[in-house]
Structure 1
Amino acid sequence: MLSDAPDWIMERRRELGERIADRRAEAHHTQESPCEATGLSRATLQRIEAGETDPRYGDLLRIGEVLHTEIAVLVG
């Protein structure tokens, strides 16, 4: 977690998490189904969606694949 990150980074991280959560909800997924498909823990996905952590590039690719969403859409 990067608690000393500048405000603009924190805001972008929150926006990314919101887009992931929105896409997941639109696809009618619980948090558990993307976790099972990607190998991420539920706690990790919760932190990503809450904007509390920077996801790894590979994690974003896997999340995008499960949600049928290009990574560019997720990162905005």
Structure 2
Amino acid sequence: MHAPDDDTWLLEHSRVLGDRVRAARHDRKISQEQLHLRAGVSRDVLQKIESGRQNPTYFTLLRIARVLEVPLSDLIR
């Protein structure tokens, strides 16, 4: 498989991931404040993830998924 010449596809995936995190958080009626505190992630990092401007680590995504009570695969599919 040939990789694209630019990284726009990565930015789109980051945005979609952020949308999924935000949607799961809203579905569970959890504020950003509650999520960042429970997941042990800084508020700034969480805001950047939700806006698609952060490349989160695997461990960060696992923490977020655990607090949101969703499989990690639901966030990154």
Q: TM-score, normalised by structure 2?
A: 0.90
Pair 1:69-2:70 in alignment: yes
Partner AA of 1:60 in structure 2: L
| 1:15-49 Cα shifts (integer Å, max 9, x gaps) | 00000000000000000111111111111100000
In the alignment, the residues of structure 1 paired with residue 24 and residue 38 of structure 2 have an alpha-carbon distance, to the nearest angstrom, of 15
Q: CA RMSD in A?
A: 0.9
Given residue 15 of structure 2, which amino acid in structure 1 is its aligned partner? Answer: R
Q: Bigger CA drift: 59-68 or 35-44? A: 35-44
In structure 1, stretches of 5+ residues that fail to align are: none
- CA distance in structure 1 between the partners assigned to 2:41 and 2:61 by the alignment: 11
Greater Rg, structure 1 or structure 2?
2
Q: Which amino acid aligns with 2:39?
A: T
Query: Equivalents in 1 of 2:45, 2:54: separation in Å?
Result: 8
Q: What is the TM-score when the length of structure 1 is the normalising length?
A: 0.91
Q: Which runs of 5+ in 2 are unaligned?
A: 1-5
